[in-house]
Structure formats: structure tokens, C-alpha cells
Amino acid sequence: MSEIAPRPVIILCRPQMGENIGAAARAMLNFGLTEMRLVAPRDGWPNPKAVAMASGAAGQVLDRARVFPTLAEAMEGITYAFATTARGRELTKPVFTPATAAARHREEVSQGGRSAFIFGPERAGLENDDIARANAILTVPVNPDFPSLNLAQAVLLTGYELSRGALPDQPMPTNRRPAGEVPADRIEIEKLADHCESRLDAAGYFFPATKAAAMKLNLRNMWSRLALTRADVQMLHGALRQLTRR
């Protein structure tokens, strides 16, 4: 993954449970975000439950986390801050989605600034006094009948959008053919399909007769979809012969 530079700061304002802080750290590291700031965590700091939930590598995020008594102090060095909330619309501020906030973050970075994303306590979220200290509001568009997101989910969604430019365009393929294996050509696939069809026909598989043509077509279509190697084809020919030998 390409590095996001400078990376945005994730500020957890008055977080209540250590487990949620640890889960947020994991979500951050998934997308290369490593700077966490904590504002007045309810159960103090450090918190062993946060470390347990961070599970291994994400512990580095917690090791570097800085604790501040107030949100105002936690925004040291920040030039643009997003308050993540579904509320606070009565305050006159621009409202962003995670995608548009990521674009605004990149704009801020290009101008030499530093951005932060502020997340509120689990039970009630950010208060208006917190939101008033941010430049903008970040709201995740969700099902209005069930708008609730937990802290780690909100951090994860934000981190994904922030790092999209550094992620591969699509997941890496998992079905690559092993080196040295030769793909079966269409004639070999055709002969395997013929062999399978003839053996099934002899066994009375295509019944009733009125459905036989459609069944054969579906089988032929299945064979053509499979990424078979020559070794695969030879093995399947042998299996068909052995199954019908008696």
C-alpha cells in the first residue's frame, strides 16, 4: 500500500470502552492510519482491554496514542477538522460524506495543512460543543431506519475512503494458475464434455427425455466456464473411466 502523507489524525473524544478503542485501532491500521489521539477516555489510559482487542500489530497504534484532557488541546497542529456525527445539523457547517471528506482532506494536504477526524463517545456521540470546534461535519449515508454505527465501523468506513487512492483497484485474484501448468484448450474441454455426457447417458442420467437437451446444454456450459489445465482434464477422464468400469 502506498503511504498516505501526511496521514490524517483520528481523534476519539471521551471514548467509553477499552474494547472499542482497540477495535478502532485495528480499523485504522487496516488502512495505514497510525496516529490516534484520545480525549479524556472514561476508563483512563493505558487500558488493557484496548490492547487485547487491538490484537497484535494494531498495538503499535495504541503505543503511540496521545491523551489530551480536552478536544481543543487534542487539535494541536490540525488545520481542518471533521466532526463525525449524524446530529449537529443546526450548526452552520459544510456537511461531507466519507468520500467527499477524503477529497477535502487531500486538498488540505496539498495546501500544506493537516486534517483530523473526530469521533464521539459510543453512547451519545459528539456534543454540540465538540462539533462547534470542527470545520465541517462528516455524516455516513446509512439506512435512515437504522442509522446506528459503532465506533470501529465509523473509523473503518472513514479509513477506507481516505486510503482508496493507495489501494489496488480490485482485490488480488486468488485463482491464478500455478506456474508450469498448461491450460486445457477448447478441443480438450470439448472431448471431456463428450466423455462425461456419454457416460451419463449410458447411466440413464438424462431423464426424462423432454429435459435431456436442456440438461446437456447446462453441463456443456459448466465445462466451458471452468479454468481447467491439461492435467485436470486427464484426471477427470480417468475418474470417469474408473467410475463406469464395472
Query: Are 8 and 115 contacting, i.e. CB atoms less than 8 angstroms apart?
Result: yes
Section 135-147 average pLDDT: 86
Residue 102, pLDDT score: 92
CA gap 67, 83 in Å, rounded: 18
Work out the pLDDT band at 2, boundaries 50, 70, 90.
very low
Section 99-120 average pLDDT: 93
Nearest to 23 by CA among 200, 216, 189, 154: 154
**Strand pairing class (36-39; 95-96):** unpaired
CA gap 49, 53 in Å, rounded: 6
Largest CA distance in the chain: 83
Q: How many CA atoms lie within 13 A of 14 on its CB side?
A: 13
Per-residue pLDDT tens digits for 173-216? 555 556 667 888 889 999 999 999 999 999 999 999 999 999 99
Question: Percentage of the chain with pLDDT > 70?
Answer: 89
- Which domains can be identified in the chain, with CATH numbers? 9-166 (3.40.1280.10), 186-243 (no CATH)
pLDDT at 4 over 50: no
Per-residue pLDDT tens digits for 5-44? 468 999 999 999 999 999 999 999 999 899 999 999 999 9
Query: 3-state DSSP call for residue 89?
Result: coil
Residue 116, pLDDT score: 95
Query: 3-state DSSP call for residue 215?
Result: helix
pLDDT at 136 over 50: yes
Candidate from 77-91, 128-142, 213-227 with smallest mean pLDDT: 77-91
CA gap 190, 220 in Å, rounded: 8
CA distances, 17 to each of 120, 139, 157 (Å): 12, 22, 20
Residue 76, pLDDT score: 92
Mean pLDDT of the chain: 87
Phi then psi for 101, rounded to 5 degrees? -65, -35
Residue 167, pLDDT score: 61
At position 50, the amino acid (one-letter code) is A
* Three-state secondary structure string covering 104-162: HHHHHHHCCCCEEEEECCCCCCCCHHHHCCCCEEECCCCCCCCCCCCHHHHHHHHHHHH
Per-residue pLDDT tens digits for 41-92? 999 998 989 998 987 778 899 999 999 999 999 999 999 999 998 765 577 8
Whole-model pTM? 0.69
